[in-house]
Structure 1
Amino acid sequence: MKGKHKYSSILVAFLAVIVIVILLIYVRKPGKEIKPRPAAKPRIAIVLDDWGYNLNNLHIIEEIRYPLTLAVLPNLSYSKRVSQELYQRGFEIILHLPMEPKEKYRLEKNTILTSMSEAEIINIIAKDLANIRYAKGVSNHMGSMSTSDTKTMKIVFAEFKKRHLYFLDSFVTARSSCPLLAYRMGLSFAKRDVFLDNSDNPGYIKQQVYKLKAKAKSRGFAIGIGHDRKSTLQVLKKVIPELEKEGYKFVFVSDLIK
């Protein structure tokens, strides 16, 4: 009996060791807690149009230490100088290309017209880009007639694509042919969401910036267009840091181009 009891004890001990080994091998330790990735910050790109008439606001904009995209009109008294100085300050430069509006008034020199030939249009674009050397893209100045004319925009877009430029549609008409045409032609493209300063009133401008903020929050990004005006720059100088603290990220338009 003693031999059988001893044998049983050894067998039980052996089985217990096997069970412990199995548990050590197959029972895993609790894994590390997987933390969710932080949500991406809503991105805002602000474009300021109509640089080139003067140098009046350079001292204000250099105090705004955030990415801004600045649209410079070609062939004005200060076009070359202002584009160079703003580029050297780290801002993104685009050509603000004069294009034909439905209301024919206050047209800039060498405005692209729907009546022009392909050669005329290409010649204007080449001269304007030579004047604004640092342009990374192009936006339309006025252009309610031109941007709604597919024939004209095909010529324009083909030239931009050849030069590896993106196009920002200021979207001055709901009849713009640009979004669909850019998609079909494979052109890098973006579209304005909010105009910031149809009024010079600081309260109005701030309200429009908040509309831009709401758009960015709901969609993930938004593009606003303002102008080279003291009132606009002063509002942006104050509001941009506030929005950054709220979690919004300010970027160039090129950062939003797919």
Structure 2
Amino acid sequence: MKRVVVLCVMLMVFYIWVIEITGEEVEGTKKVAIIIDDLGHGLEGTEEILSLNIPLTVAVMPFGPNTQEEAIMAYENGHEVIVHLSMEGRPGTSRQLGEGAITTQMGNDEIKQRVQEAIDDVPYAVGINNHMGSVATEDERVMQQVLSAVQERGMMYVDSKSNYFSVAPDVAEELGVPIVENHIFLDDVANVRHIRSQCQAIKQRLEENEECVAIGHVGRPGKETATALKQWIEEVDGDVEFVTVSELVPEFRWIHHGL
């Protein structure tokens, strides 16, 4: 009996040692991935956002006047870079589409070519998310072409969830493309008070979930978003772990697209 007790104690000590070394089986800190959209055009708040002392996933619009510069700056500041691909939105928003946008009127070959060109234009990109896209992301044919191009590059896709009826998750699963879905828009109202309330919504989600993805922007809300995030980061220091989006997909492997 004594030998059994000793053996059990030894096994318990070994188990605790393995946990401490590997980090496995320990209740981990909840994870938050912040995506910042609309870089690539020298918009307001870009410098403040990139100087935040947490890892961000930065979505850079291709073919912009500052695309290369801001993608490189983000990468050198330790942030993750993805392509912010313009996609057809609801009627009346066509003027907001950037160069190289994907529309439902395009043929399959043109869609894939545009996705490939967008990827090539953004240094260090490891994935894509949609800019607008409430119409395009609901079109299965279009998303088949977009995600096929993503798959060919070994990248991931982030569904911004601009449309609740997006077919991207289903198509991505069918093609075996790693996908992450957005949960919260931080700055749909461009003031610090609202953005802070959205940060609290992140904490509320984490009460029942292990992770949360949230999207903010440079541009009109850029400086307010940077201010609110800086305040919140200091408040939750140690309570949550800030990660890049790709860290939420452990099996994710990508082909590096540097300079």
Please tell me whether the aligned partners of residues 183 and 214 of structure 2 are also in contact (alpha carbons under 8 angstroms): yes
Equivalent residue number for residue 173 of structure 1: 163
How big is each residue's C-alpha offset from its partner over 1:74-133, in whole Å with a ceiling of 9 and x where there is no partner? Answer: 111111111111111110000000000122422222210111011211221122112102
Equivalent residue number for residue 66 of structure 1: 54
Q: Higher mean Cα deviation, 168-177 or 34-43?
A: 34-43
Taking only aligned residues, the RMSD between alpha carbons, in angstroms, comes to 2.0
Equivalent residue number for residue 81 of structure 2: 93
Q: How many residue pairs end up in the alignment?
A: 234
Distance 2:4 2:196 in 1: 60
Distance 1:223 1:121 in 2: 27
User: What is the Cα deviation at residue 55 of structure 1?
Assistant: 5.8
Which segments of 5 or more consecutive residues in structure 2 lack a partner in the other structure?
20-24, 251-259
Look up the equivalent residue of 2:235 and give its one-letter code.
E
Q: 1:230 to 1:117 in 2, by over 3 A?
A: same
Equivalent residue number for residue 36 of structure 2: 48
Equivalent residue number for residue 257 of structure 2: none
Q: Secondary structure at the match of 2:170?
A: helix
Distance 1:117 1:253 in 2: 30
Distance 1:123 1:206 in 2: 40
Distance 1:122 1:212 in 2: 35
Q: 1:42 to 1:118 in 2, by over 3 A?
A: same
Please tell me whether the aligned partners of residues 147 and 176 of structure 1 are also in contact (alpha carbons under 8 angstroms): yes
Distance 1:39 1:187 in 2: 28
Please tell me whether the aligned partners of residues 39 and 46 of structure 2 are also in contact (alpha carbons under 8 angstroms): no
Which segments of 5 or more consecutive residues in structure 1 lack a partner in the other structure?
1-22
Q: Secondary structure at the match of 2:151?
A: helix
Equivalent residue number for residue 79 of structure 1: 67
Look up the equivalent residue of 1:145 and give its one-letter code.
V
The residue correspondences of 1:201-212 to structure 2 (distance < 5 A) are 201-212=191-202
User: What is the Cα deviation at residue 66 of structure 1?
Assistant: 0.7
Equivalent residue number for residue 143 of structure 1: 133
User: What is the Cα deviation at residue 210 of structure 1?
Assistant: 1.0
User: What is the Cα deviation at residue 203 of structure 1?
Assistant: 0.8
TM-score under structure 2 normalisation? 0.84
Q: Does 1:197 align with 2:175?
A: no
Q: Does 1:108 align with 2:101?
A: no
Q: Tell me the percent identity.
A: 29
User: What is the Cα deviation at residue 59 of structure 1?
Assistant: 3.5
Q: Which of the residues 212, 216, 235 maps onto 2:228? A: 235
Distance 2:225 2:4 in 1: 64
Structure having the higher Rg: 1
How big is each residue's C-alpha offset from its partner over 1:195-250, in whole Å with a ceiling of 9 and x where there is no partner? Answer: 000111101001101111221231100100010101001111111132123x2100
Distance 1:236 1:256 in 2: 20
